[in-house]
Structure 1
Amino acid sequence: MLRDAGYDNAHAAFARQLNHAGRAHGTWRYDAASVYWWLRGRRPERRVQATMADVLGRRLGRPVAIVELGFTAAHVAAHVPYPVSCSDAIESAERLWTTLTKQSSSPTNGTFDSAQALQAAIAWRYDRPDKPVSRNGRQPVTTAEVQSLYALADHFTDLDRRHGGGSPRARALMADFLVRQVAPMLHGAYTGSVGRELMRAAATLSGQLAFMCYDAGDHAIAQHHLTIALRLAKAADDRLYGAHLLANLATQAVFLGHAQDAARLAEAAIDGADRAPAAVRARLYTAVASAYGRSGERRACQTALARAERDLDRASAHASPRWAAYFSPAHFAGTALKCLSDLRLYTQALRYAPDAIALAGRNARTLALHTALVATTHARAGDIDASCCWGREAARRATDVHSARVKHRVSELIAALSPRQALPQVNELLVAFGTTPPPN
């Protein structure tokens, strides 16, 4: 409807018209970023929807019903119940993986459900541990077979970091592997010790697929995979990996604007991790900091960042689980940069810029995310020349990955630079991004 009304490339203009039309309801300060989130499933209040329908109706020359805007359909929540038992988790996982093999070509219509996420966190934290996980199926499962799953998880993780999770083919390939190879193993015959290791491996694979779906912008499916992975980690009695998954759920909630719920999820992860190694604590505290930074709680955010940095300094590779090895000083610096930028402490934020881009080449997506973030922070700080310099680098790196999150970071950069589009260097960069900025 925005396209038909002539607002396809003028989201800021549409937001201004909406603010003007809604002045009877108070002072609205919607902007192009607001429109971005509405198009991705966030639902405004009913009165905002009614005003939106009026604005579009005047532009289209016909009455527009609220139902035509699509918010009712877009708000259908993902059905992501936390499985009661390990057997339920196995059945749910197989159904979900099978569904994804058929739907990987396009995102689902569901949205992230904060209430379900919090319920899953409570159940994971406080439900009693499972009894030893054993099974008497047809296919015997050995320790060596389970260990081979970790090698494949590493392979998919490497693909994700190098190319992004936005490739439907990569997600379909992983889902097909889970259906054909992992599901039969979960239904097989194994002892309690092998069973726990199998649940841990299945949780690792499901958690990786969840992150790929999140990076692709398929948030309902990502949440469902994280919920299943959380339950499998519970069955494996792996509290540390469960806390990591819960922190990933918090990270997704932050990205989607559910900052307060994200803080609860991240705090629950820290509480549930108990006596975690320093590297794990550092990763968890960055999730806490991200949530508080997004919600504008400066003191809580800076406290969490300080704890994360202190724990990272104490981290030992020998004492950390294998999945925590990825978390480096560069990852922490990227989080600190984002948090302080969210708090509008741009000078402090940019002190972390050099460390944030000191990543290994295999982290192509993170490099693209951090580079675009540095450019955006410079723009918000008023240094347009530096922003354009980093923006050109971000444009180059963004072409190497398929990631909805990278596209979002680029859109934030474009929004930050658009008010200065009359400057030649800004206009050149916007053209490089293939974007025609909205009129002021």
Structure 2
Amino acid sequence: MARPVTNSAFEGLLRAAGYGNAHAAFARQLNHAGRNDGAWRYDAASVYWWLRGRRPGEHVQAAMAETLARKVGRSVAVAELGFGAAGGIGICVYPASIDGAIDSAEQIWTRPAKNLNQQASGVFDSGKALETALGWRYDLPDEKVSRSGRQQVTSTDVQSLYALADHFTDLDRRHGSGSPRTRAVMADFLVRQVAPMLRGTYTDAVGRDLMRAAAALSGQLAFMSYDAGEHAIAQHHVTLGLRLAKAADDRLYGAHLLANLATQAVFLRHAREAARLAEAAIDGAGRAPAAVLSRLYATAATAYGLAGERRACQRALTKAERALDRTDANPGPRWVGYFSPAHLAGAALRCLGDLHLYSQALRHAPDALNLGSKNIRTRALHTALIAMTHARAGETDAACNWASEFGQHAVGIQSARVQQRVRALANTLGSQQASPGINEVLHSLAAMSAAL
């Protein structure tokens, strides 16, 4: 069943120009009008999605207006097309084509590059997240991604993008993602450098590697936005990253990004949706390396724990632990190297605590803190989780001791997730019987919350 048209202005112009029942013909004329910008490959499906809310890039809208103007016999302003102002990010839709993904990239990356207020852009949409999972898992692979445009793109150019992604990943783990300036700098690079590369000239092999690198950058910006509490824009970035990973034919990195989306859903307490996203990631990863499977099953365990599904949670934890034991034989892609026994222990601590299995959860506490020096934010998050688990178990003295240590680790970290742990820990301790020790910790947590 076709979706209803949401852009009636664009529909009216198509009819006035004689394209009401000839969407493929309009797409061909549009491709011709945009030939100087590269090999556009829009088709009737592209027009379908434009009529239903998808917003093409500014340069595509200009070509649309030019194409329609020739048919209607008058000038057509871009504003008449009904796509709205450039400041909006529209609805979060998984792009149907590579051209649609490139258009979406320019639109989505432009917003943080302009330092706009992301919180005003909306909230996380769990329904759209599940649609994205279906598109990534079941859409047919792209037969080719080669392109002819203005700028020649080489393998050396692509390798520089991976180096930049590593740089921003390191900054994120050390300091958190709370600074809008850092995200704006990254988004500005994507708009000025990566977007033109996506519209450039490249072979199929270079193009797939370019899509993979762009997916890594968009995925990193998604995680940074999530850590900063900008959940709608984070969802847009990860949705784009999934489509780019699909174009790269990299199902493992796509599964990783989908697991990140599940992690965001867990944070926002969309338990059922998070479980489905994690299941789709595991299914889509197929016969993946052990390290990748361990990460995916750990994510599933946190979703099941939040949903209160004890057996499913414990099964997923067992599978994650067994997979991690096999990682020496097959370490997997370089990007999964961050996932360590400490990260799995943190996931176990979280999900077993959600199931009220506090003594079992706390057995993982020592391993959860066995982190590398770069994982400053993760150490703070795990320390807070240990304190909360002790508090929920009624062990207030231990909770206060760990809360004090958490305060030391959280200094200088800009992260909405760390701030959330501060509030959750304060609420949990505040529900305990008042004592001088608890009152002192609550005072410290209040000061910490004001400073973060």
Shift of 1:435: 5.8
1:403 pairs, out of 398, 415, 423, with 415
Partner of 2:55: none
1:380 pairs, out of 383, 392, 403, with 392
1:359 paired with 2:371, answer yes
TM-score under structure 2 length normalisation = 0.78
- After superposing the two structures, state which structure 1 stretch, 401-410 or 332-341, moved more: 401-410
1:249 paired with 2:261, answer yes
Query: Would you say the 8 A contact 2:227–2:417 is kept in 1?
Result: yes
Partner of 1:184: 196
1:87-108 alpha-carbon deviations (Å, 9 max, x no partner): 1101101111111212455533
Partner of 2:210: 198
Structure 2 gaps of 5+ residues are 1-87
Query: Would you say the 8 A contact 2:342–2:371 is kept in 1?
Result: yes
- Alpha-carbon distance in structure 2 between the residues aligned to 1:298 and 1:265: 18
TM-score under structure 1 length normalisation = 0.80
1:239 paired with 2:251, answer yes
- Alpha-carbon distance in structure 2 between the residues aligned to 1:319 and 1:382: 40
1:321 paired with 2:340, answer no
Q: Secondary structure at the match of 1:135?
A: coil
Identity %: 65
1:83 paired with 2:95, answer yes
Partner of 1:285: 297
Q: Secondary structure at the match of 1:433?
A: helix
Partner of 1:344: 356
Query: Would you say the 8 A contact 1:78–1:224 is kept in 2?
Result: no
One-letter amino acid of the counterpart of residue 351, structure 1: R
- Alpha-carbon distance in structure 2 between the residues aligned to 1:266 and 1:318: 22
One-letter amino acid of the counterpart of residue 346, structure 2: G
Partner of 1:161: 173
Aligned-pair Cα RMSD in Å: 1.7
Partner of 2:110: 98
- Alpha-carbon distance in structure 2 between the residues aligned to 1:256 and 1:329: 25
2:440 pairs, out of 419, 428, 433, with 428
Shift of 1:422: 2.4
1:336-378 alpha-carbon deviations (Å, 9 max, x no partner): 0000000000000000000001111111110010000000000
Computing the radius of gyration from Cα coordinates, the structure with the larger value is 2
Query: Would you say the 8 A contact 2:407–2:448 is kept in 1?
Result: no
Aligned residues: 362
One-letter amino acid of the counterpart of residue 391, structure 1: A
Partner of 1:17: none
Partner of 1:141: 153
Query: Would you say the 8 A contact 2:259–2:299 is kept in 1?
Result: yes
- Between 1 and 2, higher relative CO (CA 8 Å, sep ≥ 6) is seen in 1
- Alpha-carbon distance in structure 2 between the residues aligned to 1:227 and 1:334: 26
Shift of 1:398: 1.6
1:298 paired with 2:317, answer no
Q: Secondary structure at the match of 1:358?
A: coil
One-letter amino acid of the counterpart of residue 267, structure 1: E
Q: Secondary structure at the match of 2:303?
A: helix
Query: Would you say the 8 A contact 2:115–2:180 is kept in 1?
Result: no
Partner of 1:332: 344
Partner of 2:74: none
**CA 1:319–1:359 in structure 2 vs 1: closer, same or farther (change >3 Å)?**
closer
Shift of 1:184: 1.0
1:210 paired with 2:222, answer yes
One-letter amino acid of the counterpart of residue 219, structure 2: G
